[in-house]
Structure 1
Amino acid sequence: MAVRRPRSTAPSTATFRQLGVPAPLVEALAGRGVTTPFPIQSATLPDALAGRDVLGRGRTGSGKTYAFALPLLARLSARPAPRRPGRPRALILAPTRELAAQIEASVAPLAAAVSLRTLTVFGGVGPGRQIAGLRSGVDVLIACPGRLEDHIESGHASLDAVEITVLDEADHMADLGFLPAVRRLLDQTPRRGQRLLFSATLDAGVDVLVRRYLTDPVTHSVDSSPAPTTVPHHMLHVAHRDRLAVLVDLAAAPGRTLVFARTKRRTKTLTRQLVEAGVPAIELHGNLAQAARSRNLTAFAAGSATTLVATDIAARGIHIDDVTLVVHADPPAEYKAYLHRSGRTARAGATGTVVTLMTDDQVDGVRQLARQAGIAPTTTRLRPGHPLLDEIAPGPRTLVDPPPATRAEPTPPARRGGARRATAPTKAKSRGHGHAPASGATRGDRGNAVSQPSGAAAFSAGSRVGATRRSGGRSR
C-alpha cells in the first residue's frame, strides 16, 4: 500500500526556471505568453521534476495540464531515445475526447520545442490516422481508455516502454465508469515508471487507484473545490412559460454564455429555440459526431457562436477561457454536477456568474443542491424584464435575425398584432447581425444519428448542411 508523504508547498513567487523547468521549455512557455506559474504548478513541479509520484488535487482550470506536461517533457528530453513503432515513452489518459484534444493542443507546442512527438487517440473518428501515427513512432501518447485498448488488442500499440504515466481528471474517469479500463491499462505500464494522478476529489474509487499504482506519492491540494467560491450564484424562480424569455435575455448579453440542459433532446430543443429568438447558439452532446463537436467548440471559443448549449459532457474537462455566464437551464440531479458545471466560469483568475432557472416544482430540489454544494445563492422570483437580469448579465442585448429556415410561420390573420412570438425576449436593447457560428455537422458525417439542428445549421452562410434535423427516424 502506498504511503502518502506530507504535503509540501513551493514558493508562490517562484518562476518556472526556479522551480526546475528546463530552459527550452521555459522559453516555449514564454512564447505562448505563460510566464507565471499557477499555484498547482508551483506546488507539484519540484516533486514531479524530481521523479516522484504525485497526487495533485485541483479543480479544472487550475493549471493542471502544465503541472504534468512540463515534468513529463523534461524527463523524456533529458534522456533522448529512438522512437519505436507503437511504443510510446509517455502516456496521458483523459476521460473525454474534448479533454484529450485540449491536452494535446497545450502539450504539442512544448513537445516540439524539445524535439518530441505527440499523438492523440480517441473514439468517434476513424482509426486509420491513429494507426499510422503509432506506426511512425510517438513519444507522448494522449488517449481515452476505450480506443487505446482497441489499438492494444489489435497489436498497434504497447505500453511496455512507458516511462511516465499521467491520469488526468481521475474522478471523472470514475464517474464515467472507466476505472476497470484504466486499471487494465496501468497494469500494462512498467511498475518502475513515474506516475502522476490529478483529480478534483478522491471519491468514486480514485483512492483505490492511488493506493494501487502510486508509490510513496506526494500529495498536493490546491484549489480543489470544483467551482470557485467567490463566484456569485443566482437562483431565479420563474414561471414555466417565462423560462425561455429569461434565458434569451441573459444569453443576448455580451460575452460567452454556457447553458446546461439535462438531456440531449432538451439540448437540441433549447439550441433551436435560442437560434429562432436571435441568439447565435450551437450545441454539444454525445449524439454529435466528433468532427461536429470539435467544430462547435472551436466556434464557441472563437466567438462566432456566443452561446453553447450542452449536456454534462461540457461540465468537466472543457477548457474555454472567458465564459462569463453559466446558466443551469435545467438544474442538475446532484450537487457535484452543479459544482462542475459552475466551474466552467471564473477560471484562471477571471470573473463570472452562475445562474439557475427553477420553476415551482424545482424549488425544493434546487435549495437542497445549494446546501449540499456549500453555496449561499441569491434567490429571486422574477419575470422577463426584471432589472436584476441586467445586473447579472450587464451590457446591451444583441439579437440577430433568425435564419429563414427557422422563422415562425406567418401569424394567422385573427392573431396579428399580438406579441412577436411567445419565445422571444420581452426586451431587446439592440438588434444586429452577428458572426455566424460554425456548422455542427456536414454531409461528410454520414452514419451519425443526429445532425446539427436546423437553426444553427442555417446560421452558417453557404454551409453544405441542410435545414433538416434527423431524430428518431423523422425529419423536422
Structure 2
Amino acid sequence: MSNPSSTPSSTLPSFADLGLPADLAAVLAKRGITTPTPIQAATLPDSLAGRDVLGRGRTGSGKTFAFLLPLVARLAGGRSAASTRPRALVLVPTRELAQQVQESLVPLAEAAGLTSRTVFGGVGQNPQVQALRKGVDVLIACPGRLEDLIGQGHCRLDAIEISVLDEADHMADLGFLPAVRRLLNATPKGGQRLLFSATLDKAVDVLVKQFLDQPVTHEADSPQSPVKKMDHHVLRLAREHRLPTLVDLTSAPGRTVVFTRTKHGAKALTRQLNKAGVPTVELHGNLGQGARTRNMEAFHSGRATTLVATDIAARGIHVDDVSLVVHADPPAEHKAYLHRSGRTARAGSAGTVVTLSTPEQDRDVRDLARAAGIKPRITVLEGPGHPVLTELAPGERVLVPGGLVLTPPTQRSGSEGSGGSAGNGAAKRTPQGSGGGRSRSRRGRGGSGSGQAKQGGGQAGQRSGQRSGQRSGQRSGQTRQGGGSTGGRAQGVGQKSRHSAASFSAKAR
C-alpha cells in the first residue's frame, strides 16, 4: 500500500480538475456542491482511473460521493442490452445507510442512464426480487438480505465490475465480516474495489489484504480528529437532574439527536420527552422498517425536533442542520463517541456536542475524552435552569402538549393500527437564568382533525384478533394510547438561522 496522503482544504482542486465528467459535475453544481472535500480530492484521481482505493475519513467527511462519483462515471453507458445482472455492488452495514446512499446516487445515476436498487432486511423481499429480474446496474445492499437472495437464486454477482465496502470498520463491529468475505468472493477477480472507513484497524486490514489489489491508501484526517467547528461540553449533574436538563436542551430551536446506550433506554426517554412536550421520535433495533421510515421522515421534515437513538444511528444517518448532539448515556468507547458526535457539524456546518455525566460516570467520561482526543469544557450543574443550557442551545424554549404521536397508515392486511390526529397548541417555557442567548425563533403548530382508533388500553404492541384488523398501537411501542383515545399529531417546528435548503448536499456528505 502507498503512503497515506492528505490534501489541504486551501488547495483543493475543482471536480473538473480531478477528472470528473462534466455532466456529473453539473449535477453536483445544481445542488450547490462545487468544491470537493479533502477525502474526495484525495481519492477521485485514483478511483476514476480504475485503481483499488482504501480511503479513511471521519464521519461527515464526504466519503459517500468519494465512491459514488467514480462508480457512476466508470459505469456510464457500458451495459449490454442482454444483461440484467448488477454491475456494481455497494455493501453497507445498516438499512438506514443503504437508503442514504441511494438518495445520493439517484440524481447521478439518472444523469448517466443507470438504474439502482437497495436490498436490505426488515421489509418484504418481493419488490427487491422483481427489480433484480428487470435488471439493476448498481446494487446497494446489506449483507444478510443479499446473501438470502443469492441463496434463493434471485441474484448473481458474477458481472460485478466495481465493489464498494462502505463503513468497513462498522461492518467488523457488527460481525458482518464473514458474510462480506463470501459476497466479495462471489464477485469476479480483477474488478475494481473501493473500501472506505472511518478507521483503519486490524479487522479492516484483513479485508484489504484479501480483496484489494495494490490499493492506493488515502487518509484525509487523523482517526481521532473531531470536526473543527464542533464544540464539546460535559455537564456534570445528579441523576435526578438528567431528564429536566434534556427537556431544556431539546425544547430549544433546531434539531437535536440524543443517544442512549440501550434500546429500552431510547424507548423510555422518547416517551418521557414527548410527555414533557418535546416532539420526539426514536430509532433503535427493536423497530420494524415501517416505523423506522416514519420516524426518520418525521425528523427530516421537522415534525419531530428530537431523535432519540442507540448507536444504530451513529453511522449513516444524515439529517440537515442537526445543531446539537447529546450523549444522554456516554458511549462505551471513543470510536462510538466520535461517530455519534459526527451527526452534527456536517459538510462545513458548526455543531455542539454535550455529554451528560453523573458522579459515577465522571472517571469513564474523562477517559473517553482523552481517548477521543478532545478537551471538552466541563460545567457542574447544581440543578435545572443553569445559564450554560441556553448558551449550548440558544433560543426560546417551546413545549407542545403531548409531544408528537405518529400513527401508521391503515394497512389492508390490518397489520398496524391507525388513527387520526388531534391538534395541540404550543406552550412556551423560558428556563431560569436563560440570559438571552442568540436570537432564534421557534413556532409550535398544531395538527388538525380528529383521530379515532379502536384500540384497547395499555402499551403499544403487537396483538392478534383485533377488531377491524387493527392492532393495539404500533410495533415500535412508540405511542401510548388508552381505551378509545385519539391519536395526536403536533408539530414543534424550529427555524434556525443556520437552516440550509441544500438538503442534497448535507445528506450526501
* Same-fold call, TM cutoff 0.5: yes
In structure 2, the residue matched to 1:5 is 2
Distance in 1, Cα, partners of 2:176 & 2:17:
37
Report the 3-state secondary structure (helix = DSSP H, G, I; strand = E; otherwise coil) of the residue aligned with 2:36: coil
TM-fit CA distance, 1:5: 2.2
In structure 2, the residue matched to 1:157 is 155
In structure 2, the residue matched to 1:37 is 36
TM-fit CA distance, 1:403: 6.0
- Report which stretch shifted further, 296-305 or 90-99: 296-305
TM-fit CA distance, 1:45: 0.6
Distance in 1, Cα, partners of 2:279 & 2:294:
14
- Report which stretch shifted further, 19-28 or 346-355: 19-28
Question: What code does the residue aligned with 1:450 have?
Answer: S
Question: What code does the residue aligned with 2:58 have?
Answer: R
- Report which stretch shifted further, 25-34 or 375-384: 25-34
Identify the match of residue 138 of structure 2 among 137, 140, 147: 140
1:116 equivalent in alignment to 2:114: yes
8 Å contact kept, 1:83–1:137 = no
TM-fit CA distance, 1:223: 2.8
TM-fit CA distance, 1:33: 2.5
In structure 1, the residue matched to 2:444 is 433
Report the 3-state secondary structure (helix = DSSP H, G, I; strand = E; otherwise coil) of the residue aligned with 2:16: helix
- Residue correspondence of structure 1 range 260-299 to structure 2 within 5 A: 260-299=259-298
In structure 2, the residue matched to 1:387 is 387
In structure 1, the residue matched to 2:181 is 183
Distance in 1, Cα, partners of 2:61 & 2:308:
23
User: Structure 1 pair 219/281, CA: closer, same or farther in 2 (3 Å)?
Assistant: same
Question: What code does the residue aligned with 1:248 have?
Answer: V
1:376 equivalent in alignment to 2:387: no
Report the 3-state secondary structure (helix = DSSP H, G, I; strand = E; otherwise coil) of the residue aligned with 1:232: strand
User: Structure 1 pair 26/403, CA: closer, same or farther in 2 (3 Å)?
Assistant: closer
User: Structure 1 pair 447/391, CA: closer, same or farther in 2 (3 Å)?
Assistant: closer
In structure 2, the residue matched to 1:401 is 401
User: Structure 1 pair 156/441, CA: closer, same or farther in 2 (3 Å)?
Assistant: farther
In structure 2, the residue matched to 1:195 is 193
Report the 3-state secondary structure (helix = DSSP H, G, I; strand = E; otherwise coil) of the residue aligned with 1:88: coil
Question: What code does the residue aligned with 2:184 have?
Answer: L
For the aligned residue pairs, the C-alpha RMSD in angstroms reads 2.8
Question: What code does the residue aligned with 1:255 have?
Answer: G
8 Å contact kept, 2:403–2:490 = no
8 Å contact kept, 1:55–1:196 = yes
1:313 equivalent in alignment to 2:312: yes
TM-fit CA distance, 1:294: 1.5
Aligned length: 438
- Residue correspondence of structure 1 range 53-132 to structure 2 within 5 A: 53-82=52-81, 84-85=83-84, 87-132=85-130
User: Structure 1 pair 216/35, CA: closer, same or farther in 2 (3 Å)?
Assistant: same
Distance in 1, Cα, partners of 2:297 & 2:202:
32
In structure 1, the residue matched to 2:302 is 303
Q: Deviations over 1:187-235 (max 9, x none)?
A: 0111110000000111151001011111111111113536425522111
Question: What code does the residue aligned with 2:343 have?
Answer: R
Percent same amino acid at aligned positions? 61
Distance in 1, Cα, partners of 2:7 & 2:352:
31
TM-fit CA distance, 1:165: 0.4
| Gap regions ≥5 residues in structure 1 | 407-423, 463-476
TM-score (norm 2): 0.81
Question: What code does the residue aligned with 1:253 have?
Answer: A
Distance in 2, Cα, partners of 1:431 & 1:102:
28
Question: What code does the residue aligned with 1:460 have?
Answer: R
8 Å contact kept, 1:284–1:293 = yes
8 Å contact kept, 2:164–2:193 = yes
8 Å contact kept, 1:38–1:63 = yes
1:451 equivalent in alignment to 2:477: yes
8 Å contact kept, 1:83–1:138 = no
Distance in 2, Cα, partners of 1:428 & 1:134:
59
Distance in 2, Cα, partners of 1:109 & 1:431:
33
8 Å contact kept, 1:10–1:46 = no
User: Structure 1 pair 380/83, CA: closer, same or farther in 2 (3 Å)?
Assistant: farther
In structure 2, the residue matched to 1:170 is 168
8 Å contact kept, 1:83–1:139 = no
Question: What code does the residue aligned with 2:357 have?
Answer: M
Distance in 1, Cα, partners of 2:193 & 2:231:
37
Question: What code does the residue aligned with 1:433 have?
Answer: G
User: Structure 1 pair 447/427, CA: closer, same or farther in 2 (3 Å)?
Assistant: closer
User: Structure 1 pair 265/190, CA: closer, same or farther in 2 (3 Å)?
Assistant: same
TM-fit CA distance, 1:50: 0.4
User: Structure 1 pair 133/78, CA: closer, same or farther in 2 (3 Å)?
Assistant: closer
8 Å contact kept, 1:9–1:42 = no
Report the 3-state secondary structure (helix = DSSP H, G, I; strand = E; otherwise coil) of the residue aligned with 2:264: helix
8 Å contact kept, 1:249–1:427 = no
TM-fit CA distance, 1:111: 0.5
8 Å contact kept, 1:174–1:206 = yes
- Report which stretch shifted further, 395-404 or 279-288: 395-404
Distance in 2, Cα, partners of 1:346 & 1:431:
21
Report the 3-state secondary structure (helix = DSSP H, G, I; strand = E; otherwise coil) of the residue aligned with 1:223: coil
User: Structure 1 pair 425/180, CA: closer, same or farther in 2 (3 Å)?
Assistant: farther
User: Structure 1 pair 432/189, CA: closer, same or farther in 2 (3 Å)?
Assistant: closer
Distance in 2, Cα, partners of 1:444 & 1:191:
51
